[in-house]
Amino acid sequence: MEQACDRGGRGSRRPNGSENGGGELSAPRLRVDTPERAGLDPEELQHLVREFHALTTGERPWAPGAVLVAGRGPVIAVQEASGWAVRYASYDPEADAGVELPPEARVPVRVDTPFDLASLTKLFTAVAAVQQIERGTLGIDARVGAYLPEFTAAVTHGITVRELLTHTSGLRPELPLYDCDDDAGRLDLLRAEPPIGVPGTYTYSDLNPLLLQHVLERITGRRLDVLVRDGITRPLGMTSTRFGPCPQAAATEDQRRPWAKADRGMLRGVVHDENAWALGGVAGHAGLFSTARDLAIFCRALLAGGAYGPARILGPDFVELLLTPPGLGFAIDQKWFMGELAGRGAAGHTGFTGTSLVLDPSTDTFVVLLANTVHPRRRPPDNTPRANTATRLARAVRGT
């Protein structure tokens, strides 16, 4: 199997570097098997697969390419790829259409094709933070200013780590860091940015995981990409998950103004998010690339209380902390993309490039849908396919 984004071998170590010992049994690894073995209704899953393949067909498909992995317990019951990882050479604004590559130059999607995860990166930042909370090196209700005294706005307004993890800091959704010419200017903007909303009130913001990244890097002395690799992806054997560049990833956008915030041309293998790009590709809110199978492992580990195979990345109590409403980094019961899986404690997230994952502890199910909906140009998001996919999985559980 192609490992386009491999950055190291497998491991089985705890976040603190110790082996998963103490007599603890290994958690089951994922395997591909029948819907019946997964405890899922095969007819509902057949509907799910047909609807999935329809997402990449037609002149204006929902996405040029997509990969779907879904299952229950340790069983992957659906693993499908459809469409094109690279279909367009550019975007033609006059025709409002993509300029298609000749068939021989297009790149088909495979089940192991990496995608730009966009905001799914936030989930890994959240897990890295909860790992530090578990160690006792980070206080969930500690003030950010206690770790970053030079972040004057956070100090003045008493922003806490919990507020960053729950998007209740009052910080605006984003800052135009991509317009700064140097790292010092970008850092000055972050340090001086005050809340514009009422603290304690939910306002989704990329600035929250960006500040959290600085906290984590300060208290550990390690970069976020190293924390994610050593604490999450390497122990779990997620060998195709890494921060970019990732040359074999599905293409994203022909990024040009005025529809984008920078003039970068057709993007493939480099982060789509303009702020993450300006920050060098490693950011708390965006920058990771991964495959659907790797993300299924991530979901399985959380559903199993933080363990996968011989590795444990979190203790069960801290997984519960992560996934208890309102969720630390994870969205909980968001019906607009979770469909009928919502309402039971399902957790997940979406990414601007067309990515999403949902895991439902109440039914032990997970679904990962990766797509390049912004290829060749971003458009208003249509979350109906995400919600429909989750609903089909929920009905497959009920139909058994």
Q: Rounding to the nearest 10 degrees, give the CA dihedral for residues 62, 303, 138, 207.
A: 10
HEC assignment per residue over 293-353: HHHHHHHHHHHCCCEEECEECCCHHHHHHHHCCCCCCCEECCHHHHHHHCCCCCEEEEECC
Query: Is residue 206 domain-resident?
Result: yes
* pLDDT digits (tens), the chain, 400 positions: 444 564 433 233 334 433 444 446 789 999 999 999 999 999 999 999 999 999 999 888 999 999 999 999 999 999 999 999 999 999 999 999 999 999 999 999 999 999 999 999 999 999 999 999 999 999 999 999 999 999 999 999 999 999 999 999 999 999 999 999 899 999 999 999 999 988 899 999 999 999 999 999 999 999 999 999 999 999 999 999 999 999 999 999 999 999 999 999 999 999 999 999 999 999 999 999 999 999 999 999 999 999 999 999 999 999 999 999 999 999 999 999 999 999 889 999 999 999 999 999 999 999 999 999 999 999 999 999 999 999 999 999 987 6
Query: Is residue 14 domain-resident?
Result: no
DSSP codes of every residue in 139-165: -TTSBHHHH-TT-HHHHHHT-BHHHHH
Tokens of 269: 């293998």
Rounded distance, CA 237 to CA 260, Å?
35
Tokens of 214: 């600085």
CATH number, domain with residue 130: 3.40.710.10
Rounded distance, CA 112 to CA 294, Å?
9
Query: Is residue 10 domain-resident?
Result: no
Three-point CA angle 200, 165, 310, nearest 5°: 150
Three-point CA angle 308, 314, 318, nearest 5°: 135
Query: Is residue 375 domain-resident?
Result: yes
Rounded distance, CA 209 to CA 285, Å?
5
Query: Is residue 170 domain-resident?
Result: yes
Enumerate the β-bridge partners of residue 341. none
Rounded distance, CA 177 to CA 262, Å?
11
Domain range spanning residue 243? 31-398
Could you tell me the pTM of the whole model?
A: 0.94
Q: Which of 238, 172, 165, 162 is nearest to 203 (CA)?
A: 172
* Phi, psi angles (nearest 5°) of residue 77: -100, -20
Query: Is residue 12 domain-resident?
Result: no
Rounded distance, CA 161 to CA 194, Å?
15
- The bridge status of strand 75-86 relative to strand 31-32 is parallel
Report the domain count for the chain: 1
Rounded distance, CA 6 to CA 189, Å?
34
Query: Is residue 389 domain-resident?
Result: yes
Query: Is residue 21 domain-resident?
Result: no
Rounded distance, CA 255 to CA 264, Å?
5
Q: Which helix (H) or strand (E) holds 238?
A: none
